Homo-oligomer: A and B are copies of this chain.
Amino acid sequence: MLIVMHRNATSKQISAVITAVEKMGLQASSIPGSERTAIGVLGNKGYVDDLSIRDLSGVKDVIHVSKPYKMVSRDFHPRPTIIKIGQVEIGEGKSPVVIAGPCAVESEHQIIRTARAVKSAGAEMLRGGAFKPRTGPYTFQGLKEEGLKLLAMAKKETGLPIVSEVMASENVALVAGYVDVLQIGARNMQNFDLLREVGRAGKPVFLKRGLSATIEEFLAAAEYILAEGNSQVILCERGIRTYETATRNTLDLSVVPIIKELSHLPIVVDPSHATGKRSLVPPMAKAALVAGAHGVMIEVHPDPEKALSDGPQSLTIPGFEKLMEEIRQIKKFLGH
Contact = CB atoms under 8 A, between A and B. Distances in A.
A191 interface: yes
Contacts of A253: 251, 253, 284, 287
A258 B279 CA distance: 9
A155 to B, nearest CB: 23
A256 interface: yes
Contacts of A134: 68, 192
Contacts of A252: 242, 244, 250-251
Nearest to A258: B246
A179 to B, nearest CB: 18
A275 B308 CA distance: 35
A15 interface: no
Interface in A97-139: 106, 133-139
A254 B251 contact: yes
Nearest to A292: B283
Contacts of A289: 290
A308 B68 contact: no
Contact of A250 (B46, B138, B250, B280): B250
Contact of A330 (B141, B168, B220, B290): B290
Contact of A46 (B69, B191, B308): B308
B241 A258 contact: no
B190 A68 contact: no
Interface string A201-220: 00000000001101111001
A187 interface: yes
Interface of A: 1, 40-46, 65, 67-70, 106, 133-141, 143, 167-170, 187-188, 190-194, 211-212, 214-217, 220, 223-224, 227, 240-247, 250-254, 256-258, 261, 274-275, 279-280, 283-284, 286-292, 308, 329-330, 333
Given A250-B250, A283-B290, 18 more contacts: A1-B138, A70-B138, A135-B190, A135-B220, A136-B224, A138-B223, A138-B227, A169-B169, A187-B191, A240-B242, A241-B243, A247-B254, A247-B258, A254-B284, A257-B280, A283-B291, A283-B292, A329-B333
14 contacts: A42-B138, A43-B141, A67-B136, A135-B217, A138-B223, A169-B169, A240-B242, A242-B243, A242-B250, A257-B280, A257-B283, A257-B284, A283-B291, A284-B291
